[in-house]
Structure 1
Amino acid sequence: MKGIMTFQDRLLGLTNAIYRFPLTIIFLLLATVINSMDIHSSNDYSRYILSLIVGAFLGIVSQVIYERFFNNKVIRISLFGISAILALIYSYVISNADNINTEIWIKTIVGLFALFIGFIWIPVIKSKFSLNESFMAAFKGFFISLFFSGVIYVGISLIIMAVNQLLFRIGYNSYSHAANIIFLFFGPTYFLSLIPLYTIDYSGDDGETQYRVEKTKNNVAIASSCPKYLEILISYIIVPLTAVFTVILLFYILGNMGGKFWSDNLLEPMIVTYSITVILIYILVSRMENKLAEVFRMIFPKVLIPIVLFQTISSIIKIGDMGITYNRYYVILYGIFATIAGIAFSIFPVRKNGIIAALLIVFSMISIVPPIDAFTVSKNSQLKIFESVLNNNNMLQENKIVPNKDISSEDKQKIIKVLEYLHQIEYTDKVSWLPKDYDYYSDFYKTFGFNQYEQTEEVNQYVYLNLNMEDPIDISGYDFFIPHYVYISNYDKKEEEISKFEKSNKTYTLKLNVTSKDSYLSLWDENQKEINRFSYDKVLQRFENYAGDTKGLIDMEEAVFIEENGVSSVKLVIKAFNMDRTADNKSFNIESYILVDIRQ
């Protein structure tokens, strides 16, 4: 009986979530349908799915704004309308982009994060409830819905597998469709059903009002209560482990304040992760009454301040040489936020933790809104370094880059790193100094006068070349045309047949031979007599120290190798050549066309 009542409560919760968040449910349903189409189709529907997910997040925020501040259905509909319009604007922006690049992804993720924080914080603004209760309810709801969704998916997958093996064949896409429905629609809907209504309704007579107030308080208390196992896990396991890690971190920082700390790039992500952990634990233990929780609340915010502050200063110092990238922008911005959070936790009571949520939303919006967003700032910073290096080496004349191979290694590295970053964020086509239709891989050498991947005295070399496919292949005078791919390393020893063919009623065999000393193609007649041999050493000698006019592309003249005699001719046309040479090994793979002419 109790199980039936629990099931009815869960079903009622799902129904209430649909009624409470109708716009979000509509967006999630449409996203599920379109993602189902995407599973079946080769077309890219990611822009539509992403737009609908943004709309779903806007929908839940508009609903909690209405619940907290308004009590008019017209305003509710208006808020939903604004959310739908914002989702359409977002869809229009990404539809006009060439592709969903790094900038779009990161800005979208940060924007969704800000909306989710708003979803947690807005219902408790100037409320009888605090952020701590809202956060715990969302924290529990997320993991409960994830657990239920995972269990349901495993169960459905087992059913699909059983039907597929025992009854009849089911399409391989069935698992994807199941995951789509469960994790994109059911999971988020179930999560929303676990979020209580924080607004206390004081309308009605005294008895009815008292009942509504007590019911709301009871629902929030249940949703935000901390399970005993979670309290034990956090207080007696996670908090002590965090304390030990903090001691180690402090010893390292104090022992290396003279130098290494300020240049250790590995420490940067570690401290960011540490500070996020401390802030999350602080909010989770805010309502716990055991001794370890109290000690954590009293000590750790004060310890967090100097650790994060020093790391933020270190990150700011590092931008002096190579400027700001969007990664470092976020590290510095988060460092500022974490420092303020530590101060706020040290000054204000735990009930005022909502200040942190407000700061987090503000900082998130700063990072995605031009002209002070992460990508605009980082682009300007990198272009400033780029221009400075070019001007210092007389490589920028009349707004065009002049190649110069004689610049210092340090300046070469700056140019290489700046171009690498601009290519990563897909901004090279907007740099006025670069040639029109500049290709990052093939145009670097002819643009700057030096190779992007300089060889060092140590044997550690990589060569990647491709044939310019606009050049025609001359096959006149040859009897046979054979595409071939080969991979060879120092340790290979093999002999294999590549092809057999006939001419004038005679059979000929083309073989690949690899020994410890050489690798070559051999042509044999029907009497098992070798009539021609082409050694791959010729290819290696031409390309292993390649320094052509362009890096990455070779023309037909460079790609052709011929080995001929009075009996036959073997012509090799290199389509792609990749070589990887280290101190211990030299390996290469060649994709080529082999042309054979039999002259007897």
Structure 2
Amino acid sequence: MHKKALHDTLIIEENRKSGKSTKEVRNIGVKWYISLGKRLRGLTGSAARFPLAIAFLLAIAVMLSVEIGTDRDVSKYLLACAVGAVSAAAAQTAWERFFKGHGARLLLMGGSLLSAAAYYLAVRNADITGPEVGVRTAVLLFALVFAFLWLPVIRSRVGFSESFMAAFKSLFHSLLYSAVIMGGIAAILAAIDRLIWPLDNRVYAHTAVWVFVLFAPVFFLSLIPVYPGRGEDGPDPAGREERDMVLAARTACPRFLEILISYIVIPLVSVFTVILAAYILLNIQSEFWTDNLLESMLISYAVTVILVNILAAGMKNRFAALFRLISPKVLIPIVLFQIVSSFLTVRDTGLTYSRYYVILFGLFAVCAGLVLSILPPKRNGIIAALLIAFCAVSILPPVDAFTLSRSNQIGLLESTLERNGMLADGAVVPNGSLSDADRKKIVSSVEYLGNTGELNRVSFLPADFTIYEDFYDTFGFDAYAMPGTSYRTVSVYSDAALPVDIAGYEYLFQAYLNYPEDTNREIGRLSRDGADYSLTAMPGGTGGKIILSKEGGEELIRFDTGEIFSRYETYPVSKSALTPEEALFTAENDRGRLAFIVQSASISFDGKQTYFSAQLYILADFK
């Protein structure tokens, strides 16, 4: 049967089942093939348009697959390639907007390669597990993404809001397609695993890498339109009409999205604005200035207002117009109040990198509110430029988040110690009689500097200072004591790798102690020379006791477990390596002897009661 005849037979059969005419069915098939062809051409077109960016994405996918298969840590290479991929995409859009010659394109691609190399050199010897590298990288990528969206529409007839809308739609399309593809492949793999032969579980991780790391970004790039270039003609003047049609379609707001934003999101945000404004007005003289929980809510609110204003820039309905008119003007005073509140918090607790970004974003939100209030939607690109500038400020020394917060926290710690006479000859003098406020400042600063890996920069602390082991001995009080109480917790541990010396003893028990304990608890039993003996933990005294007794209740030897905890109660909060001598306790008389080797112990004091627990080995011998 000829191909055409077979095709017509299939169409007729479909016609019979669906009730549609042959022509209608044929048109549906043609449209489906055309749509599929466009998608495939778009993917190949994005490879030609963004070759370097896709090369970086391919490298990321390969390295992730290697990491999954071998457990090698390639995170620094991954981050460098991520920076290279986004900067290469931004460089391509900059070339399309401002240049024509391929020499300029090659130079911009070379700049992207250099940016990836420079980033790798910057983080090659850095501790990537700390927050600094992660935060700086996230902010850098965020700025590059907005550069990718803003550069192709600078001083163009197409506005930033339209570019943002195109990217917004493309993102959701790429995520939807990727999720469907991933779900389908996962179902196929699961069927093969259950029905044919077992598969390595890592095959799902490999699949996710290639779908979400390579396919999804490539598909996203394929949906980004070519914006008007230099002279409004773009790189290919002959195809301007077709590009304009594609551009209009991809930057237009879908009817569904317009309804969602105009009649659902905008009313909800408006109601929330009224509630938020009412809360601020009712609490402006009390809780508002110290309510740190409200901080994240206000940031989320500011982000939502700015995004909705950008997405609704081209909408003509009354809800959108009123929202664009009113919301930026309401946003400004709300964010100003939050900035003042954050500055008051910094005065008491010092500057941290997170609060730095809260304040910086507040300043950006105020500027964005002014732009949205004064300038027409066509000028929204200024918001992207401001965002990129603020991001650059936050990661470039000497005014970046980590440099400023480090110097501020060290200064706060030093001033608090000096005020309490705790600095002498460049070293800290312990002082346990500080006010709760000063204790909190010291603990907060030391913890922050420890979490960011900056304790080695504090000249008056020992070079090997660690919070859990050395805080109490250095400052004279417990870092985790509850303010206003004498609460303190001490934990000690023995090195589990060290062998237990049982020479001279016949029996070995393992026991767990818990005080206060209300009932007798048998630790173990043994038989010797036809008699039965038991080792029992009993309440009583300052910490309980352990008794070795003969059947019938005859006591041979006892040990007061309070000795264990009286030895450790003056230790720092955590001591991770007890020496064999520190871990050993003994009891002996003319009938026997016991040895206790502590593996771990924890002691808590609340001013009225002492609580402790311990895991230990007990050695026993008779005389």
Distance, in Å, in 2 between the alignment partners of 1:536 and 1:136 is 74
Matched, 1:154 2:154: no
Whether contact under 8 Å (2:557, 2:593) holds in the other structure is no
Whether contact under 8 Å (1:442, 1:550) holds in the other structure is yes
Aligned residue identity for 1:599: F
Point out the more displaced range, 319-328 or 399-408.
399-408
Deviations 1:30-81 (CA, angstroms, capped at 9, x unpaired): 1111111111223321111111111111111111111111111111111111
Matched, 1:19 2:42: no
The equivalences for 1:314-333 within 5 A come to 314-333=341-360
Report the alpha carbon displacement of residue 548 of structure 1 after superposing the two structures with TM: 2.2
Distance, in Å, in 1 between the alignment partners of 2:187 and 2:536 is 48
Whether contact under 8 Å (1:120, 1:138) holds in the other structure is yes
Match for residue 302 of structure 2 among 247, 262, 275: 275
Report the alpha carbon displacement of residue 596 of structure 1 after superposing the two structures with TM: 2.5
Match for residue 92 of structure 1 among 121, 125, 138: 121
User: Structure 1 residues 346 and 480, CA, compared in 2 at 3 Å: closer, same or farther?
Assistant: same
Report the alpha carbon displacement of residue 302 of structure 1 after superposing the two structures with TM: 0.7
Aligned residue identity for 2:601: F
Report the alpha carbon displacement of residue 90 of structure 1 after superposing the two structures with TM: 0.9
Deviations 1:1-49 (CA, angstroms, capped at 9, x unpaired): 2222222111111111111111111111111111111112233211111
Aligned residue identity for 2:620: D
Aligned residue identity for 1:213: R
Partner-residue secondary structure (3-state), 1:432 = coil
Report the alpha carbon displacement of residue 203 of structure 1 after superposing the two structures with TM: 10
Partner-residue secondary structure (3-state), 1:442 = helix
Point out the more displaced range, 573-582 or 189-198.
573-582
2:333 corresponding residue in structure 1: 306
1:414 corresponding residue in structure 2: 441
Distance, in Å, in 1 between the alignment partners of 2:409 and 2:276 is 32
Distance, in Å, in 2 between the alignment partners of 1:272 and 1:407 is 36
Matched, 1:132 2:161: yes
The equivalences for 1:289-368 within 5 A come to 289-368=316-395
Partner-residue secondary structure (3-state), 2:467 = coil
Matched, 1:170 2:199: yes
Partner-residue secondary structure (3-state), 1:71 = coil
Gaps of 5+ in 1: none
Report the alpha carbon displacement of residue 321 of structure 1 after superposing the two structures with TM: 1.9
User: Structure 1 residues 488 and 9, CA, compared in 2 at 3 Å: closer, same or farther?
Assistant: farther
1:574 corresponding residue in structure 2: 598
User: Structure 1 residues 224 and 536, CA, compared in 2 at 3 Å: closer, same or farther?
Assistant: farther
Report the alpha carbon displacement of residue 494 of structure 1 after superposing the two structures with TM: 11
Deviations 1:198-217 (CA, angstroms, capped at 9, x unpaired): 1358799xxx95x6222122
Distance, in Å, in 2 between the alignment partners of 1:511 and 1:146 is 65
1:596 corresponding residue in structure 2: 619
User: Structure 1 residues 344 and 599, CA, compared in 2 at 3 Å: closer, same or farther?
Assistant: same
Aligned residue identity for 2:362: G
Partner-residue secondary structure (3-state), 1:552 = strand
Aligned residue identity for 1:310: F
Matched, 1:111 2:140: yes
The equivalences for 1:111-510 within 5 A come to 111-200=140-229, 209=237, 212-454=239-481, 462-467=489-494, 474-480=501-507, 484=510, 486=512
2:10 corresponding residue in structure 1: none
Matched, 1:37 2:96: no
Match for residue 552 of structure 1 among 560, 566, 575: 575
Whether contact under 8 Å (1:512, 1:521) holds in the other structure is yes
Report the alpha carbon displacement of residue 149 of structure 1 after superposing the two structures with TM: 1.4
Point out the more displaced range, 384-393 or 418-427.
384-393
Whether contact under 8 Å (2:515, 2:612) holds in the other structure is yes
CA RMSD of aligned residues (A): 3.5
User: Structure 1 residues 247 and 311, CA, compared in 2 at 3 Å: closer, same or farther?
Assistant: same
Distance, in Å, in 1 between the alignment partners of 2:515 and 2:572 is 28
Report the alpha carbon displacement of residue 261 of structure 1 after superposing the two structures with TM: 1.5
Deviations 1:534-557 (CA, angstroms, capped at 9, x unpaired): 8895377537x8222674354444
Partner-residue secondary structure (3-state), 2:468 = coil
Report the alpha carbon displacement of residue 445 of structure 1 after superposing the two structures with TM: 1.6
Deviations 1:111-156 (CA, angstroms, capped at 9, x unpaired): 0000000001111001110101100111111111112212222222
Report the alpha carbon displacement of residue 393 of structure 1 after superposing the two structures with TM: 2.3
* Normalised TM-score (structure 2): 0.85
Report the alpha carbon displacement of residue 263 of structure 1 after superposing the two structures with TM: 1.5
Distance, in Å, in 2 between the alignment partners of 1:558 and 1:431 is 31
Identity %, equivalent residues = 38
The equivalences for 1:520-535 within 5 A come to none
Distance, in Å, in 1 between the alignment partners of 2:531 and 2:244 is 91
Aligned residue identity for 1:415: I
User: Structure 1 residues 510 and 325, CA, compared in 2 at 3 Å: closer, same or farther?
Assistant: farther
Report the alpha carbon displacement of residue 360 of structure 1 after superposing the two structures with TM: 0.3
Partner-residue secondary structure (3-state), 1:96 = coil
User: Structure 1 residues 502 and 537, CA, compared in 2 at 3 Å: closer, same or farther?
Assistant: closer
User: Structure 1 residues 421 and 219, CA, compared in 2 at 3 Å: closer, same or farther?
Assistant: same
User: Structure 1 residues 535 and 295, CA, compared in 2 at 3 Å: closer, same or farther?
Assistant: farther
User: Structure 1 residues 550 and 392, CA, compared in 2 at 3 Å: closer, same or farther?
Assistant: same
Gaps of 5+ in 2: 1-28
Report the alpha carbon displacement of residue 523 of structure 1 after superposing the two structures with TM: 7.1
Aligned residue identity for 2:562: K
Distance, in Å, in 2 between the alignment partners of 1:195 and 1:502 is 83
Aligned residue identity for 2:163: S
2:24 corresponding residue in structure 1: none
2:20 corresponding residue in structure 1: none
Whether contact under 8 Å (1:479, 1:595) holds in the other structure is no
Matched, 1:71 2:91: no
Distance, in Å, in 2 between the alignment partners of 1:27 and 1:186 is 13
Match for residue 76 of structure 2 among 39, 44, 47: 47
Point out the more displaced range, 321-330 or 548-557.
548-557
Whether contact under 8 Å (2:508, 2:620) holds in the other structure is no
Whether contact under 8 Å (1:464, 1:578) holds in the other structure is yes
Distance, in Å, in 2 between the alignment partners of 1:22 and 1:260 is 54
Whether contact under 8 Å (1:27, 1:53) holds in the other structure is yes
Aligned residue identity for 1:360: L
Deviations 1:287-312 (CA, angstroms, capped at 9, x unpaired): 11111111101110111111011111
User: Structure 1 residues 60 and 516, CA, compared in 2 at 3 Å: closer, same or farther?
Assistant: farther
Distance, in Å, in 2 between the alignment partners of 1:256 and 1:322 is 22
Report the alpha carbon displacement of residue 175 of structure 1 after superposing the two structures with TM: 1.3
Whether contact under 8 Å (1:121, 1:354) holds in the other structure is yes
User: Structure 1 residues 472 and 169, CA, compared in 2 at 3 Å: closer, same or farther?
Assistant: closer
Point out the more displaced range, 270-279 or 1-10.
1-10
Partner-residue secondary structure (3-state), 2:300 = helix
User: Structure 1 residues 166 and 231, CA, compared in 2 at 3 Å: closer, same or farther?
Assistant: same
2:566 corresponding residue in structure 1: 542
Whether contact under 8 Å (1:14, 1:190) holds in the other structure is yes
Point out the more displaced range, 66-75 or 572-581.
572-581
Distance, in Å, in 1 between the alignment partners of 2:553 and 2:366 is 80
The higher radius of gyration belongs to: 2
Report the alpha carbon displacement of residue 353 of structure 1 after superposing the two structures with TM: 0.2
Partner-residue secondary structure (3-state), 2:59 = helix
